Chains A and B, each alone.
Chain A
Amino acid sequence: MLQEVIAFKNTKCECGHQNPVGTVLCEACGRPLEEEDRESTEVLEMRYDGMARRSQRANPNIIDRIWNFFSSVKIAVYLIILTLIGSMLGTIFPQESTFLNIDPSTYYKDTYGTWGQIYYKLGLTHTYESWWFILLLVMIGASLVICSLDRVLPLYKALSKQKILKHMQFLTRQRVVYQGPIEGTAEDWVKQVSAPIKKKGYRVYIDGNALLAEKYRFSRWGPYVIHIGLIIFLLAVLARGLPGMAMDQHIGFPEGEIKHIPDTSYYLKNEKFTVEFYSEDEMPEEFRNKGKTLPKLFSTQATLYQCTADCDDPTKEPKLKEVAKHNIKVNDPLEYEGLKIYQFDYDMTPTLRAVSPSLVDNKTGKDLGKFKLDIKNPQRIYTVGDYTLELKEKYNDFSIDENGRPVTKTPNPNAPAFLFLIKGPDLPADGMQYFYFPKEIDKVRFQQDAINAKLNGGKPPLELDVNGMGNVDISMSTSYLNIRVDKVMPFIWIGASIVMLGLVLGFYWQHRRIWLRIDNGVLTLGAHTNKNWFGIRREISAILKHMNLDVDEKSLDNGGKHE
């Protein structure tokens, strides 16, 4: 083909029409343009109605060459095969993105051995985010756009300005052909035959002794509609990588706490988390009496807030507005403006949030008043009656280091401890030091009384005491929620629907055309469709029967490949 294009042949047909380079059949009369082709009696190649594709042109320059590369169906097939192979490679071991918390540089080696390490080194652990995979997708997209443009425009032109009288060779070399004598004048016969053809749903165009009948042309656009759908689909997939288009994170929300959702203006409060377990007799046989607990239902009563002001200023408290409330259960997420919050996991370890201890006179046992001590964000100074309590030190996870000094082991309030300097009546002028462990278990474990006795040279005159659980604020559990945003999903659906529409257009209808001409009392009929040849032969046989011509369906078959 390229050689012919370079040879720059005379492409003017004998009917007088000047055809573009690369044309196979004259755009006007349908006569084959190749000398060689004209001598043949084979069935004609009717692809794109014999029109030149846009990319076929004389003297291609660099842009034409790039264009031609992408307009090639062969290249498209290779690209698709490469993408398929790439996708397959990505499924050998789990992708990095499927894990919440791993170090991929060691995980693959430890779990899958040498192959795992090779897999990681090759970068296949993030196949679908790799530059080459995305490049392949982009190239498929380019191929889709350019292939479509290259074919749809010439085809549209060919179909919208069809000449009714076709060259004899064009008719006799169709796959469905009939030739035979007729009675009466040519004009009358053509007029008569148009009635039964119209009845079959064809649009009929007459030009003297020639006729063109056509139906379901729209089915020719099916493949291009599919391409448009695929392009939208691909663009949506690529857009997913853009910031803010998609999010997927897992966050723990302790009960009763308002927590910020990173990268959004939203805050969420876990009002109450509940979990229900299956009782022993509800469990299947194999789980019974094994001490296993199976959750039946877990749900989080959640309130979603949106920040309205002072959101990024850490010196101020953000101003929040309640925007949604929902009881989140498994498969029943909270949804708000594209944000979806799913129940994911839970942790039933209780955490101490605040205590309200009373200051008690050790001699009289008198309650001097109480104050609220927030574990996470305590105040520097508390005032209780005539006394002031200055918070000197705070340890979240109290421990003693190798030098015998108090330290905090972790940032989590597992064993909170506070050192107060208490001043007031009947106390030494520089105050009294008092170590306080809000958790009863730590009080015993770290010997609070012994520490305080040592600090004060004997039993201290005052002490802090929590009177009952009513003065303790505990977060019973932490609910882990999966927060997802997927703004591109609607476009994926739109793309997929357009693809479906294109498939329906192309599959359920066929573009059928019948040409006929009468020369000296002899009828020559040729017909073309893109599939279901049986159907079109049957229609023609029925039409001819109306004209008192008894033609067997099978005898209309002029050979060629059938599909």
Chain B
Amino acid sequence: MGKSRKKIQIIILLLIVALGGYAIVSQVWGSGGKPTEGSKAPDFELLGLDGKAHNLDEYKGKAIVLNFWGTWCGPCVKEMPALQAQWEKWKDKDVVVVGINAGEDKMAVENFVNNMNISFPVLLDPNKEAIAKYGISPLPTTFFVSKDGKINKIHLGQLDLATLDKQIEELVKS
């Protein structure tokens, strides 16, 4: 009944704590849940209208306004000019606006973007994989992602220029 027994006891207890802790953490904050404010923004790998693949990593160090939209969705169309205006205002100050289109084909999106004179990066999500990862249900939904990759704010529904400006200012400060 010497030191070796105590060591074994400690090892077993530590193993239980490690296994149990991992089980609880992975179950409660794990894959099943939608991302929430404060959690890490899920990564994606999507084709942009520029023909290149884009992921979250390439915007590292920048604050991201991630807008999920569709050409058929009225409020999305209405908030596009506001997003474009903010993109022009903030693009040199380490803020990037990214639009993720929900499941439409390239031509529909391309035509729309050309007609609206949108110049911020627009990505296509034909299989709605990013949509699923971000747990989007109503469109538009906008995620404000801070420089460290954490979700600062989730906005459901249409954004107007003033709110958007305020949100981005908060995002840059955070």
Chain A interface (Cβ < 8 Å from any Cβ of B): 20, 54, 57, 63-64, 66-67, 103, 129-131, 134-135, 137-139, 141-142, 145-146, 149, 235, 238, 241-243, 259-260, 262, 312-315, 376-378, 380, 391-397, 407-411
Contacts and interface: CB of A to CB of B under 8 A. Distances in A.
Nearest to B15: A145
B162 interface: no
Nearest to B72: A408
Nearest to A66: B13
Contacts of B23: 134, 137-138, 238, 241
Given A135-B24, A408-B72, A312 B137 contact: no
Contacts of B10: 63
A396 B70 CA distance: 12
B104 A396 contact: yes
A315 B52 contact: yes
B72 A142 contact: no
B114 to A, nearest CB: 10
A314 B123 CA distance: 11
Contacts of A410: 72
B32 interface: yes
A436 to B, nearest CB: 14
Interface residues of B, number: 40
Interface in B119-153: 124, 127, 129, 132, 137
Contacts of B1: 20, 57
A130 B47 CA distance: 37
Interface of B: 1, 5-6, 9-10, 12-13, 16, 19-20, 23-24, 26-28, 30-32, 45-47, 51-53, 70-72, 102-108, 111, 124, 127, 129, 132, 137
Contact of B107 (A137, A149, A235, A391): A391
Q: Which 9 pairs across A and B sit closest by C-beta, in order of nearness?
A: A138-B20, A314-B47, A241-B27, A238-B23, A142-B16, A408-B72, A131-B28, A134-B24, A314-B53
23 contacts: A67-B13, A129-B27, A134-B27, A134-B28, A135-B24, A141-B16, A142-B20, A145-B12, A241-B23, A241-B26, A259-B127, A260-B127, A313-B45, A314-B45, A314-B47, A314-B124, A315-B52, A391-B107, A394-B111, A411-B70, A411-B71, A411-B72, A411-B103
A315 B53 contact: yes
Contacts of B105: 376-378, 394, 396
Contact of A393 (B28, B111, B132): B111
Nearest to A55: B9
B137 to A, nearest CB: 7
Nearest to A61: B6
A370 to B, nearest CB: 20
Contacts of B137: 103
A54 B111 CA distance: 76
A242 B16 contact: no
A135 B30 CA distance: 15
B11 to A, nearest CB: 11
Given A134-B23, A407-B72, A377 B47 contact: no
Contacts of B45: 312-314
A240 to B, nearest CB: 9
B66 to A, nearest CB: 17
Given A67-B13, A142-B16, A315 B51 contact: yes
A369 to B, nearest CB: 22
A377 B103 CA distance: 12
B107 A394 contact: yes
Contact of A135 (B20, B53, B71, B132): B20
Given A129-B27, A138-B20, A145-B16, 16 more contacts: A63-B6, A103-B137, A138-B16, A138-B24, A139-B20, A141-B19, A142-B20, A145-B12, A146-B12, A241-B30, A262-B127, A312-B45, A377-B105, A394-B108, A394-B111, A409-B72
B24 A377 contact: no
Nearest to A418: B107
Contacts of B124: 314
A315 B123 CA distance: 12
A380 B46 CA distance: 22
Contacts of A395: 108
A397 B28 contact: no
A126 B156 CA distance: 24
A454 to B, nearest CB: 21
A130 B29 CA distance: 10
Nearest to B12: A145
A397 B72 contact: yes
A224 B70 CA distance: 60
A391 B110 CA distance: 12
B9 A243 contact: no
B36 to A, nearest CB: 13
Contacts of B31: 243
A336 B39 CA distance: 35
A139 B9 CA distance: 16
Contacts of A238: 19, 23, 27
A380 B30 contact: no
Contacts of A262: 127, 129, 132
Contacts of B5: 54
Contact of B72 (A57, A130, A396): A396
A270 to B, nearest CB: 15
A376 B23 CA distance: 43
Contacts of B47: 314-315
Report which residue of B26, B102, B107 has the largest number of chain A beta carbons within 10 angstroms of its beta carbon. Answer: B107
A129 B32 contact: yes
Nearest to A410: B72
A314 B30 CA distance: 26
Report which residue of A20, A139, A141, A142 has the largest number of chain B beta carbons within 10 angstroms of its beta carbon. Answer: A142
Nearest to A375: B105
A478 to B, nearest CB: 15
A411 B53 CA distance: 23
A129 B102 CA distance: 30
Nearest to B1: A20
Contacts of B53: 313-315
Contact of A378 (B6, B107, B132): B107
B106 to A, nearest CB: 7
Contacts of A135: 20, 24
Nearest to B10: A63
Given A63-B6, A135-B24, A378-B107, A411 B129 contact: no
